[in-house]
C-alpha cells in the first residue's frame, strides 16, 4: 500500500498543485480544510466559504476526499490571545508564525495522525532536504519571491519529520502552469494576503472590538505635543501614514514617522528623521533551533519576511535569551516580531524579539 498523506487544502493554487504532485508521486492523498476562525459577521470579510468551495472543486477534479476540521478554539487560545497580548503591550505581533507552529504543525498534524496519515503536506515554498540517515535541514524555497521559511522558524524540528512540501522546489510561475495543465479551475487565483479574521475591514475597527481605545498625546522626541492618538495599539514603528499631524506651523514639510511607543505615558513619539528608527542590536527569547548550533555564532538573519538576509552575530545572554548584533543598523526593529536565522539557504531557527535599541532615541 502507498503511504497516506493528508494535505492542508486552502482553496488556493499552491495547495491544489501540491495535492496534484503528491498523486503523481504515487501517494494516497486526502485533503483537509481547516477552519480557524468563527465568523461573526457573515462572509463580507472572511472568504472561508469561498475557500472551502474552491478546495472542494479541486479535490473533486483530482478525485480525492476532502475533510474539514474546526480548529477555531485552538487558534483563539494559542494564537489570537497571544496576538492581543502583544498589541496591549505595545508590540507588533506576527500571528502567521504562531499559526504555523500551533495549528498547521501541531493540531493539524495530530488530527491527521488520528486519520491514519503517514505524512502531512502543505503548500509552503520551503524544502526539507535529507542529507543521510537522521540528518535533514529546512531550506528556503527555490523561488526567492515566494520563500516562506521565515514563517516556519518557530515550528519544532521534530514536526518536519513527517511533513512534505511538494512545491518548495518550484517557481510560482511553474506552479500556475502545472495547475492549468491539470485543468484546475483556480490556476489564476490571486494569492491570499492578510489574515482571514481581519480581511478587508479597517484594522483599527477590528482591534477596537478587543482592545479598549485609550487616547493620548503624539509628541516629538523632545516631548512637544504635535497631535493626539486613539490608542497606541493602532500604530507600528516606522509608520508614516494615518498620523494626521501634517500642516504644523514652523515645521518643515517632511513626513513624520512613528519612532517609539511610550506605554507608561500613553505617548506616541514621532519624528521627521527616519534615522531615529535605526538600531544595531536586539534581544530575543524562546529560541527554536532546527539544527544544533554553538554560540556565539556568525550568521545571517531577517527581522521581517521580505527583508534581505542581514549579517549578524548571536551571543548568549545571562538570562537565557539571545543577544543579536547586526553588522549594519536595521530599520524599525519591532518587539513582538520574530527573527529568523540562516546559514546560506538553510533555516537555522528563530526567536521572538523582546527588546531593541535604536541608536539615537531614548525616552525620558
* Catalytic, out of 46, 99, 299, 312: 99
Q: In the predicted model, is pLDDT for residue 45 greater than 70?
A: no
Q: What is the pTM of this model?
A: 0.93
Does the N-terminal peptide bond of residue 248 adopt cis geometry, omega within 30 degrees of 0? no
Other C-beta atoms closer than 10 Å to the C-beta of 190 total 8
Establish whether 299 is a catalytic residue. no
pLDDT tens per residue, range 193-211:
666 666 556 777 888 889 9
pLDDT digits (tens, 9 = 90+) for 158-171: 999 999 999 999 99
What pLDDT shows up at residue 207?
Answer: 86
Catalytic-residue membership of 46: no
Q: Classify residue 274 by its DSSP letter.
A: G
pLDDT at 205: 81
Q: What confidence tier does 253 reach under pLDDT thresholds 50, 70, 90?
A: confident
Instruction: Summarize the confidence of residues 273-291 as an average pLDDT.
Output: 94
- Asked if residue 280 lies in contact with residue 323, where contact means CB atoms within 8 angstroms, the answer is no
What mean pLDDT value characterizes the chain?
91
Q: What is the pLDDT of residue 318?
A: 86
The model's confidence at residue 46, banded by pLDDT at 50, 70 and 90, is low
Cell numbers at 3, concatenated: 503511504
Q: Using CA atoms, how far apart are residues 131 and 264, in angstroms rounded to an integer?
A: 51
d(CA 279, CA 329): 5
Instruction: Give CA torsion, residues 16, 20, 22, 23, to 10 deg.
Output: 140
Please determine, for residue 59, whether its predicted confidence score (pLDDT) is greater than 90.
yes
What are the grid coordinates assigned to 118, written together? Answer: 503517514
Amino acid at each position: 500500500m502507498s503511504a497516506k498523506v493528508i494535505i492542508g487544502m486552502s482553496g488556493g493554487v499552491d495547495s491544489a498543485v501540491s495535492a496534484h504532485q503528491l498523486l503523481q508521486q504515487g501517494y494516497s492523498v486526502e485533503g483537509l480544510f481547516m477552519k480557524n476562525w468563527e465568523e461573526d459577521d457573515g462572509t463580507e470579510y472572511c472568504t472561508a466559504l469561498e475557500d472551502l468551495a474552491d478546495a472542494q472543486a479541486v479535490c473533486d477534479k483530482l478525485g480525492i476526499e476532502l475533510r474539514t476540521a474546526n480548529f477555531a478554539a485552538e487558534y483563539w487560545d494559542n494564537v489570537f490571545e497571544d496576538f492581543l497580548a502583544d498589541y496591549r503591550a505595545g508590540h507588533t505581533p506576527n500571528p502567521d508564525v504562531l499559526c504555523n507552529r500551533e495549528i498547521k504543525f501541531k493540531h493539524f498534524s495530530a488530527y491527521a495522525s488520528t486519520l491514519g496519515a503517514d505524512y502531512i503536506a502543505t503548500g509552503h515554498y520551503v524544502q526539507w532536504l535529507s542529507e543521510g540517515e537522521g540528518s535533514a535541514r529546512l531550506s528556503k524555497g527555490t523561488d526567492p519571491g515566494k520563500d516562506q521559511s521565515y514563517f516556519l522558524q518557530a515550528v519544532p524540528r521534530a514536526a518536519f519529520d513527517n511533513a512534505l512540501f511538494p512545491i518548495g522546489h518550484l517557481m510560482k510561475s511553474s506552479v500556475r502552469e502545472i495547475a492549468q495543465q491539470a485543468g484546475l479551475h483556480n490556476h489564476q487565483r490571486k494569492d491570499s494576503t492578510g489574515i482571514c479574521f481581519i480581511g478587508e475591514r479597517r484594522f483599527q475597527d477590528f482591534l477596537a472590538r478587543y482592545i479598549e481605545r485609550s487616547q493620548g498625546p503624539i509628541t516629538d522626541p523632545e516631548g512637544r505635543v504635535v497631535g493626539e492618538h486613539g490608542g497606541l495599539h493602532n500604530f507600528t514603528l516606522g509608520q508614516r501614514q494615518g498620523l494626521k499631524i501634517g500642516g504644523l506651523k514652523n515645521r518643515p514639510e517632511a513626513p513624520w514617522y512613528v519612532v517609539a511607543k511610550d506605554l507608561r505615558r500613553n505617548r506616541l513619539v514621532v519624528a521627521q528623521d527616519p534615522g531615529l528608527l535605526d538600531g544595531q542590536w536586539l534581544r530575543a527569547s524562546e529560541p527554536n533551533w532546527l539544527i544544533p548550533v554553538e554560540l556565539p555564532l556568525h550568521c545571517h538573519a531577517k527581522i521581517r519576511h521580505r527583508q534581505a538576509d542581514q549579517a549578524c552575530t548571536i551571543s548568549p545572554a545571562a538570562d537565557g535569551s539571545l543577544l543579536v548584533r547586526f553588522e549594519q543598523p536595521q530599520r524599525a526593529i519591532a518587539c513582538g516580531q520574530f527573527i529568523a536565522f540562516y546559514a546560506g539557504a538553510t533555516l537555522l531557527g528563530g526567536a521572538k524579539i523582546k527588546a531593541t535599541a535604536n541608536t539615537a532615541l531614548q525616552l525620558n
